[in-house]
C-alpha cells in the first residue's frame, strides 16, 4: 500500500485554483466574479484539481515512468470521480490517486506456495530456477534466438534449447519444442492421423483439468478416435483387433491425475510397439529419466527404449521448467511434425526457449528440490518457524503432513512433510497476503515442502502481520 506523500500537494493544488481565479478575474465582470467565488466556496467540486496538474506532481510523474502514463491518468481520473461524488475531499485527490496506484504494470503477483502441492496448476505449475529467470530476462530483448552471430545469417530457432534437450534424452533421434503438451498432441494428430484413426484405450480418455479433455482435443483435428477395451481393463488383443491400414497411431496416455486400482490391465509400451503401428506415448509429467522418488511415473527415456515412436510431455510439471510441450523420438517423424503448416501456430516464444535451456543445463529447479526435500529438514524448519510465531503469541504448532505432486503427475504418491499449523482463520488473510496454505481439519496448514527455505522469513512476517 502506498502512504500519503502529498504534504506539499495541497498547497500546489490551491495555487492552481488561485491561478485559475486570477485568469478568470480579468475577464469576468465584478458582479459575476463575486457569484463565481461564492459558488466556488459552496460547491467544493470546483476545487477538484485538474488532471494535468495532479499528473505533474513529482510522485505521480515518477509513477508514470514505471507504470505508464495511461495507467496513472486513469487512477487520477478515478480519484477525481470520487471527489466529485463527495467520497473524498478535493484536496485529497492526489493522495488518493497515489494510494490507489498498482505496484506494477502487470497485475500478476508472486505467491508463496505453502499448499504442499508441488506442481499446482492454479499457482502457475513449476516455479523457474534463478538461472531460468535470468535467461528469460536476457532473451526478453533483442536476442540471437534465430541468428548466427558469427556468419551473420539466419540460424535454427532455439538451437541451444533443442541441443540441451537432445543431450538430456540421448534415446531420442530428434526433439521438438512447442507451446505445451496439448499442442504436441495436436500436432501429432494433425501430422500422423489426418483422415485416419487414433487407437486409444477407454481407460485413457483423460480430462486433464478445467474441462480440457484429450479425446476432444484429438477429435478436433478431424482424426477418428478408435476406442478399445474398457475403463479398467484393456489388453493387447483389444489393440490388435483395432489396428489396420486406417490406423494413424496408437496413443498411450498416462493417467496423470487419477488412479484406477483393483481389477485392472493395461499393456506396456513394448507390447503395443510389437503390433507394428506407430506408438505415441503421452507421459504428461515430463520426467526425462526414471526418478527415484517416483518409481511408477513414466519417463521419456524408458518409453523410447520400449520402442515408442514419439513421446510427448509438458515442460512445466516435474521437469520444473517453463510452459512448453516436448516431442522426442523418431527423427523422420519429428521432421514431418516440424514441417507441418500448423507447427508455426504452436511454436514457442524466445523466452520459453531460454528458460528451458537454463532448466536443462543449469542448477536444480525448485520442483526437483521440492521432490528431494527430506522430512527431518522440513520438520526442523517447521519447528523453528512455529517457535518464532509462538514467541510472538501466535497459536502455532508443528504438524506432520503429506504433500502431493499435484496435477503434474504421480497420482497417489504422497511425500511425508511438515507444516506450521495455525487457526483456520488465518487462511483467508494469508491468502490476501499472497501466502497460500491449505485448510485441513479446521486448521490452516503451511506445508514447507513447497516453500523455498529463503522464503521462511516472508512466511513468518506475513503470519505476524495477519495476527
Ligand X SMILES: *Cc1c(COP(=O)(O)O)cnc(C)c1O
Nearer to ligand X, 204 or 447 (CB): 204
Nearer to ligand X, 355 or 396 (CB): 355
Minimal distance in Å, beta carbon 261 to ligand X? Answer: 18
Tell me which residue has cell 513414466.
298
Minimal distance in Å, beta carbon 158 to ligand X? Answer: 17
d(CA 247, CA 240): 11
Q: Which residues contact 351 (CB under 8 A, 6 or more apart)?
A: 135, 136, 139, 140, 322
Nearer to ligand X, 102 or 412 (CB): 412
Burial class from Cβ neighbours inside 10 Å (0-12, 13-18, 19+) for residue 106 reads exposed
Tell me which residue has cell 467565488.
37
Q: What is the SS3 assignment for 221?
A: coil
Contact 382, 459 (CB under 8 A): no
DSSP secondary structure letter of residue 329: E
Return residues touching ligand X (CB under 6 A): 180-182, 208, 214, 253-254, 256, 282, 284, 314, 325
Nearer to ligand X, 90 or 284 (CB): 284
Minimal distance in Å, beta carbon 314 to ligand X? Answer: 3
Nearer to ligand X, 197 or 282 (CB): 282
Q: What is the SS3 assignment for 285?
A: coil
Minimal distance in Å, beta carbon 312 to ligand X? Answer: 7
Contact 356, 321 (CB under 8 A): yes
Minimal distance in Å, beta carbon 163 to ligand X? Answer: 22
* Chain position whose Cβ is nearest to ligand X: 284
Minimal distance in Å, beta carbon 316 to ligand X? Answer: 7
Nearer to ligand X, 254 or 443 (CB): 254
Minimal distance in Å, beta carbon 266 to ligand X? Answer: 14
Q: Which residues contact 110 (CB under 8 A, 6 or more apart)?
A: 434
- Main-chain phi, psi angles of 401, to 5 degrees: -135, 180
For strands 414-423 and 443-447, give the pairing: antiparallel
Nearer to ligand X, 313 or 463 (CB): 313
Minimal distance in Å, beta carbon 112 to ligand X? Answer: 23
Nearer to ligand X, 124 or 416 (CB): 124
DSSP 52-105: HHHHTSHHHHHHHHHH-HHHHHHHHHHHHHHHHTTSS-GGGHHHHHHHH--SSS
Q: What separation in angstroms does the CA of 97 have from each of 3, 52, 94? A: 11, 13, 5
d(CA 250, CA 243): 9
Amino acid at each position: 500500500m502506498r502512504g500519503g506523500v502529498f504534504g506539499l500537494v495541497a498547497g500546489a493544488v490551491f495555487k492552481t485554483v488561485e491561478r485559475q481565479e486570477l485568469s478568470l478575474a480579468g475577464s469576468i465582470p465584478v458582479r459575476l466574479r463575486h457569484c463565481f467565488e461564492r459558488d466556488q466556496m459552496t460547491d467544493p467540486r470546483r476545487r477538484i484539481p485538474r488532471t494535468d496538474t495532479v499528473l505533474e506532481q513529482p510522485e505521480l510523474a515518477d509513477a508514470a515512468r514505471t507504470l505508464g502514463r495511461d495507467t496513472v491518468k486513469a487512477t487520477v481520473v478515478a480519484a477525481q470521480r470520487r471527489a466529485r461524488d463527495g467520497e473524498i475531499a478535493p484536496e485529497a485527490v492526489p493522495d488518493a490517486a497515489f494510494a490507489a496506484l498498482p505496484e506494477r504494470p502487470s497485475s500478476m503477483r508472486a505467491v508463496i506456495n505453502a499448499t504442499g502441492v508441488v506442481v499446482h496448476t492454479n499457482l502457475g505449475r513449476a516455479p523457474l530456477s534463478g538461472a531460468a529467470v535470468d535467461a528469460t530476462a536476457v532473451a526478453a530483448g533483442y536476442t540471437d534466438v534465430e541468428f548466427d552471430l558469427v556468419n551473420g545469417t539466419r540460424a535454427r530457432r532455439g538451437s541451444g534449447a533443442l541441443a540441451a534437450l537432445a543431450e538430456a534424452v540421448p534415446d531420442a533421434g530428434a526433439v521438438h519444442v512447442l507451446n505445451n503438451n496439448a499442442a504436441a498432441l495436436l500436432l501429432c494428430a494433425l501430422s500422423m492421423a489426418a483422415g485416419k484413426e487414433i487407437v486409444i484405450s477407454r481407460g485413457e480418455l483423460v480430462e486433464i483439468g478445467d474441462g480440457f479433455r484429450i479425446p476432444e482435443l484429438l477429435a478436433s483435428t478431424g482424426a477418428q478416435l478408435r476406442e478399445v477395451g474398457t475403463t479398467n481393463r484393456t489388453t493387447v488383443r483389444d489393440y490388435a483387433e483395432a489396428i489396420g491400414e486406417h490406423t494413424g497411431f496408437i496413443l498411450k496416455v498416462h493417467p496423470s491425475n487419477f488412479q484406477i486400482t483393483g481389477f485392472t490391465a493395461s499393456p506396456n509400451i513394448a507390447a503395443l510397439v510389437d503390433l507394428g503401428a506407430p506408438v505415441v506415448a503421452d507421459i504428461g509429467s515430463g520426467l526425462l529419466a526414471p526418478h527415484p522418488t517416483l518409481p511408477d511415473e513414466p519417463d521419456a527415456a524408458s518409453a523410447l527404449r520400449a520402442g515408442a515412436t514419439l513421446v510427448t510431455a509438458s515442460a512445466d510439471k516435474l521437469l520444473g521448467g517453463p510452459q512448453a510441450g516436448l516431442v522426442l523420438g523418431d527423427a523422420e517423424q519429428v521432421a514431418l511434425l516440424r514441417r507441418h503448416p500448423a507447427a508455426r501456430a504452436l511454436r514457442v516464444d524466445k523466452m520459453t526457449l531460454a528458460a528451458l535451456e537454463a532448466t536443462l543445463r543449469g542448477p536444480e529447479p525448485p520442483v526437483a528440490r521440492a521432490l528431494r526435500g527430506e522430512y527431518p529438514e522440513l520438520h526442523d524448519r517447521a519447528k523453528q518457524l512455529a517457535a518464532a510465531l509462538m514467541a510472538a503469541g501466535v497459536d502455532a504448532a508443528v504438524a506432520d503432513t503429506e504433500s502431493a505432486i499435484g496435477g503434474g503427475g504421480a497420482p497417489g504418491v504422497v511425500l511425508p512433510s511438515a507444516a506450521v499449523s495455525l487457526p483456520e482463520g488465518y487462511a483467508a488473510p494469508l491468502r490476501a497476503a499472497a501466502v497460500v496454505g491449505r485448510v485441513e481439519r479446521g486448521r490452516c496448514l503451511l506445508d514447507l515442502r513447497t516453500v523455498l527455505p529463503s522464503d521462511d522469513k516472508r512466511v513468518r512476517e506475513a503470519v505476524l502481520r495477519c495476527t
